[in-house]
A and B are shown apart, each in its own frame.
Chain A
Amino acid sequence: QVQLQESGPGLVKPSETLSLTCTVSGGSISDYYWSWIRQPPGKGLEWVAYIYSSGSTNYNPSLKSRVAMSVDTSNNQFSLNLRSVTAADTAVYYCARRHSSTWYFDHWGQGTLVTVSS
């Protein structure tokens, strides 16, 4: 069974860069699409970005100017960088795997809370 685990700092200062990594175990990262989805405290879910195992990416237009994803297939990991963060970026960040053929998410990490504060 595929498992995903997020890692990274839980506290980031305003204007700095939020960096998270998702490690995939129990299966290969190859041939799948991998996403980041975030949830501000007490609020709903927002899709942030995806990357294919080949490295092709797509980002939510609302965040496109600040976000970048990368993939490390040798270590079965993918990463998120979000630049110039503000308090509005405070959220639980989930990594997730897209279903093999279409765009719903059938495997999720447990999530990691990132707080933006000085």
Chain B
Amino acid sequence: DIQMTQSPSTLSASVGDRVTITCRASQSISSWLAWYQQKPGKAPKLLIYKASSLESGVPSRFSGSGSGTEFTLTISSPQPDDFATYYCQQYNSYPWTFGQGTKVEIK
């Protein structure tokens, strides 16, 4: 299985700070990476697919980049609604696997 490792596990930021989350794959996954946002008690919500494509309806302050084994999710100016846990998911190889999550907290 491809292992997905996110860093950091927890991140404290203020509203308006730039936030960057990293996701590393144990082997190359090309650009077959998705990012999800999850709030407590809710299902994950798709934000980005194919590493950098923004899902319809997702604010443009979210962006993704990377290819191969290293990827980033950036929130350019986080709003109060953005404080949540974020997961990456690879879909290059079966079985599809997720990172362990990064919790973004309000400082």
A contact residues vs B (CB 8 Å cutoff): 43-47, 58, 60-62, 94, 96, 99, 102-106, 108-111
Bound Cα distance A103, B34 (Å): 9
B87 within 8 Å of A by Cβ? yes
Q: Residue among A47, A105, A106, A110 with the most chain B CB within 10 A?
A: A105
Q: Which one of B46, B87, B98 lies within 8 Å of A106 (CB-CB)?
A: B46
B89 within 8 Å of A by Cβ? yes
Q: Which one of B32, B45, B89 lies within 8 Å of A45 (CB-CB)?
A: B89
Contact B98 A104 (CB under 8 A): no
Binding site secondary structure of chain B = loop
Contact A44 B95 (CB under 8 A): no
Q: Which residues of B contact A96 (CB under 8 A)?
A: 43
- Size band of the interface chain B makes with A: 20 to 34
Q: Which one of B43, B49, B55, B99 lies within 8 Å of A111 (CB-CB)?
A: B43
B100 within 8 Å of A by Cβ? yes
Contact A102 B95 (CB under 8 A): no
| Given A44-B87, A104-B34, also A109-B95 (CB < 8 A) | no
Contact A103 B91 (CB under 8 A): yes
B107 within 8 Å of A by Cβ? no
Q: Which residues of B contact A104 (CB under 8 A)?
A: 34, 46, 49, 89, 91
Q: Which one of A47, A108, A109 lies within 8 Å of B97 (CB-CB)?
A: A47
Bound Cα distance A46, B1 (Å): 12
Could you jot down 27 A-B contacts, CB within 8 Å? A44-B87, A44-B98, A44-B101, A45-B89, A45-B98, A45-B101, A47-B97, A47-B98, A58-B94, A61-B1, A61-B95, A94-B43, A96-B43, A99-B49, A102-B32, A102-B91, A103-B96, A104-B46, A104-B89, A105-B34, A105-B89, A106-B55, A108-B43, A109-B43, A110-B42, A110-B43, A111-B42
